[in-house]
Amino acid sequence: MARERTAKKREEHEVEFSRIVAFSDGVFSIAITLLVLGIDIPDTLHHSQVGHALWEEREALFAYAISFAVIARFWIVHHSFFSEVKAFDGKLIGLNMLYLGFLVLIPFSSKVLGEYGGVFASVVLYSANLAAVVLIGQWMAWDARKAGLTAIDVETAREDLIRGFFIAGVFGLSVIVALFDPSIAPYMWLALFFEGRGHVIERLSRPRSS
């Protein structure tokens, strides 16, 4: 393949490659830390109101916890994807930037969800944002593998693809649920964490014999 030949080999351009990874890590760590700005109480309260105001932030804290876990998870996936990358070109850098572009929006979507948790528009925004990150991540991985830039085997690639569709499916489903009751939707996302050990996906993606 032409792209495989023209791409820069990682071992020959280790410094350049490290800068891409370090830049991505920087963006991940800032985005995950900016989540805290979504939690805030007014600064003109009477002392007796502070406890109540903090209690009112429980939805914001819940949104914070989900978003922190989601970004941490995205980082681990990104991390393990890039540990398999053997060569890079402009297209991989471009897709990675597109991926980061949607990742950086999460603090905004998370803040909106924390303030307006039971509202259809918030759930759609949040779901769309996270599904976009997942799907672009899948696109990037699929494209890199097709171009021969990664060392990922067919088996792992299939598992990753099914996992991606599973995650995007959960968000899609939660939007449909939100049409009826937006306050239930966020609880559906918790399914992502129970599925974290990958049992269902393992069963779906393994050939029957093994």
Q: Which residues of the chain form contacts with a copy of itself (CB under 8 A)?
A: 15-16, 19-23, 25-37, 39-41, 43, 45, 47, 50-51, 54, 64-65, 68-69, 72, 75-76, 79, 83, 93, 97, 100-101, 104-105, 107-108, 111-112, 115-116, 118-122, 125
The least CB distance from residue 162 to a copy of itself, in Å, is: 19
* Least distance to a copy of itself, CB of residue 168, Å: 21
- Least Å distance between CB 208 and a copy of itself? 26
Q: How far apart are CA 30 and CA 78, in angstroms?
A: 15
Phi/psi region, residue 198 (left: phi>0; alpha: psi -120 to 50; beta: rest), is left
Which residue number, 194 or 208, has a Cβ lying nearer to a copy of itself?
194
- Least CB distance to a copy of itself at residue 10 (A): 10
Nearer to a copy of itself, 23 or 139 (CB): 23
Nearer to a copy of itself, 50 or 169 (CB): 50
Q: Which long-range contacts (CB under 8 A, 24 or more apart) does 148-156 make?
A: 148/1, 148/3, 148/4, 148/87, 149/3, 149/4, 149/7, 149/85, 149/86, 149/87, 149/88, 149/89, 149/92, 150/81, 150/84, 150/85, 150/86, 151/84, 151/86, 152/84, 155/205
Smallest separation (angstroms) from a copy of itself to the CB of 115:
5
**Nearest residue (CB) to a copy of itself, 9 versus 19:** 19
Q: Which is nearer to a copy of itself, 125 or 141 (CB)?
A: 125
